[in-house]
Amino acid sequence: MESGEREEAFEKQDVGDLQRVYDYLRGHAEIREILLSGGDPLTLSNAKLCELFQGLRAARPGILIRVGTRVPITDPLRLDSETIAILNKFRPLRLSVHINHPRELSGGGDALDACVSAGIPVHVQTVLLRGINDTAELLAGLFRDCLDLGLTPYYLFQLDLAPGTAHFRVPLTQGLAIYRQLAARISGLGLPAYALDLPGGGGKIRLHENVICGERVTDAGRIYVLKDVSGREWGYPAE
């Protein structure tokens, strides 16, 4: 979708939805933060970003705004001084940036460093990908580079079960082994939480050895049985 088409969609479709969001925030003081993601918020123009942030601030002046984005990596020039000033104006605000490999910092590192220098915290989310970053050595290098730029490694995600991505999936037991090796290579400051969004809407859990409580064979193949914090069981492919 081109930029103009995104703006038109924002105008025609999202305005009513956003008003319902603002109304909901006004009526639910227990909500302390809001995540802007889904499509990438930074693909909007600065004018539309300001409009969105102003609406959120009017509804809830002190709410923490989290912006999930890949734009600093895919289009670093988009994060220019004007955009950074807008982000800074609407603090408390934090960026959650998706970075999978150290090479991605060669283009986006300066833009993210500028955000940190402007007082905008940046948290890094990484997806564990087979053949891309599935070694403790590479991940340790990525997270050290992030620390050097003032970025906070936040989550290392086990791959979601999105259609067409199975060839990138690292087996769960291998992922746990990589995470153990990573923990031995890097300080706690650079060690993100290893996590999984449970299939079927189970929510996010942190992965560790004891989270696997069994195995089961289904029509779709062998699965691990994972247990969330409430004790409910969920399935995840074993291979």
Position 230: which residue type?
S
The percent helix, strand, coil of the chain (3-state, each to 5) is 45, 25, 30
State residue 228's pLDDT score: 85
**Reported pTM:** 0.87
pLDDT tens per residue across span 214-229: 888 888 788 899 988 8
Quickly state the pLDDT bin for 197 (edges 50, 70, 90): very high
The answer to whether residue 25 sits within a structural domain is yes
Domain count of the fold of the chain: 1
Q: Is the pLDDT of residue 232 over 90?
A: no
Asked whether residue 88 is domain-assigned, the answer is: yes
- Determine whether 63 is exposed, middle or buried from the number of CB atoms within 10 Å of its CB (0-12, 13-18, 19+): middle
What pLDDT is stored for residue 103 in this prediction?
A: 95
* Residue 94 lies in domain: 3-210
Is residue 224, in this structure, part of any structural domain at all? no
Check pLDDT > 70 for residue 3.
no
Burial class (CB in 10 A: 0-12, 13-18, 19+), 42: buried
In a domain, 219, yes or no: no
Does 143 fall in a domain?
Answer: yes
Q: What pLDDT shows up at residue 92?
A: 96
> Is residue 223 within 8 Å of residue 238, measured between CB atoms?
yes
The CATH number of residue 121's host domain is: 3.20.20.70
- Summarised one tens digit per residue, pLDDT across range 52-104 is 999 999 999 999 999 999 999 999 999 999 999 999 999 999 999 999 999 99
Work out the pLDDT band at 17, boundaries 50, 70, 90.
confident
